[in-house]
Amino acid sequence: MDKEITIHSPEFQAIYEEISERAEAIRKRDELSDVSFRDWLCKAIEELASKLGYHIQNIYEFTLDMGYSFQKGFEAGRERARKKAYRRRQQ
């Protein structure tokens, strides 16, 4: 179909909104998953270490700095972890 779409077209606004909502949904999912995985990992590390006779301190800090974030990889996760409210909530 031949149709010129400009930023003033109603279709432009509608599709932009859809793509924005989708991006936001993915971002939210990544964040939920990051927090969930860190919680799971902390618990696993604590339990396994305890079975071996160790008590590990600073485990939450470690998982934040480790930065296993979904989608964006190690370095981006480390940077994001520093900025996130999660760390502030822990303080």
Q: Which is nearer to another protein, 26 or 79 (CB)?
A: 26
In whole angstroms, the minimum distance from the beta carbon of 75 to another protein comes to: 11
Q: Which is nearer to another protein, 30 or 87 (CB)?
A: 30
Q: Taken in order 72, 73, 77, 80, is the CA torsion positive or negative? A: negative
Q: Which is nearer to another protein, 10 or 88 (CB)?
A: 10
Determine the Cα–Cα distance for residues 91 and 88; give it in Å rounded to an integer. 5
Determine the Cα–Cα distance for residues 54 and 59; give it in Å rounded to an integer. 12
In whole angstroms, the minimum distance from the beta carbon of 38 to another protein comes to: 9
